[in-house]
Structure 1
Amino acid sequence: MSHRLSLPILALASLLAISACSQDPSLHVGVAADRCVVSHEGETYDGNCRADGEPAIGLGMVRSDQSEFVPGIIAVTLTQTAPGLGEVYALGQTGNEIYLGSVQQEASEPACWKGSNLRICRY
């Protein structure tokens, strides 16, 4: 595993562990109940999630019940690489790392980042 992927995936793993402890968002320090939108290859999830961090340092998102956002993807990480630009990785159902692609922050919707076959938002 490359060092570039290690930090985002470790952050996702810790977010999954925190999420598994309780479904009450008030019990999670630093982990908020948010609304996430994850669209990938024609499939879209729009609903509750747990998110931790910010794009500038690494934003991790999982569903509260740890089910898939879209088929094969249980967690998503966005890391900003330059102002308004980022890279997105996912954690697959079997624990595999998946590179989803480069994204650009949407000017009209700053909570959203879009790539060629990917769009993620955190509200």
Structure 2
Amino acid sequence: MRRIAALIALIVAAQSVLLLDASARPAKCVVIGNGMTPYRGTCKFTPDNGGSFAIAPIGKPGFDGVTLVSVAIVSPGVAEVRGLTRDGINSRWGEAKRAKADPACWVGDDFKICVY
């Protein structure tokens, strides 16, 4: 019974990943963080509910070891930002606010993420 439950959970997780990839599209990304090499290049943009999204670098290493950055909207104009490393470490970058001058950008205390 446990094997069947584990198999079902694996199938559901795989379908979720496939659905995310189906909605992903290329975008131009700029990711600047305190102490990290700025990334300016193509990324995979995956939208989520309520304006939240995730980005991943395409074609070249980016984000200084972070393979996925998620921007989760918590209230209008405010998001919680996290980064996932190659080693599977999910680090909290912190709160970010949508830039008034450039609404494609989210600005935190020591980082800035723009997706065009």
User: TM-score normalised to the size of structure 2?
Assistant: 0.75
Tell me the CA shift for residue 54 of structure 1.
4.8
Pick from 41, 45, 66 the counterpart of residue 51 of structure 1.
Answer: 45
Tell me, yes or no, if the aligned pair for 1:51 and 1:62 is still in contact at 8 Å. yes
Match of 2:56 in 1: 62
SS in 2 for 1:71: helix
Quote how far apart the aligned CAs of 1:57 are.
Answer: 4.6
Shift of 1:73: 1.0
**What is the aligned-residue RMSD (CA, Å)?**
2.4
When residues 57 and 105 of structure 1 are mapped into structure 2, their CA distance, relative to the original with a 3 A threshold, is closer
> Counterpart of 2:67?
74
Aligned to 1:23: none
Give 2:6's aligned residue. Answer: none
Give the percent of matched residue pairs that are identical in Structure 1 and Structure 2: 25
* 2:29 alignment counterpart: 36
Q: Which has the higher helix share?
A: 2
Name structure 2 gaps, 5 residues minimum: 1-12
Q: Which has the higher contact order (CA 8 A, sep 6+)?
A: 1
How far did 1:30 drift?
A: 1.7
Quick one: distance in 2 between partners of 1:56 and 1:46?
Answer: 26
**2:89 is aligned with 1:108:** no
AA of the residue aligned to 1:59: F
Give 1:70 deviation, angstroms.
Answer: 2.3
> What SS does structure 2 have at the residue aligned with 1:109?
coil
Deviation string for 1:75-98 (max 9, x for gaps)? 100011111111100101211101
CA distance 1:31–1:91, shift in 2 (3 Å): same
Q: Distance in 1 between matches of 2:107 and 2:57?
A: 20
Structure 1: gaps (5+ residues):
1-9, 19-28
Is it true that 1:85 corresponds to 2:78 in the alignment? Answer: yes
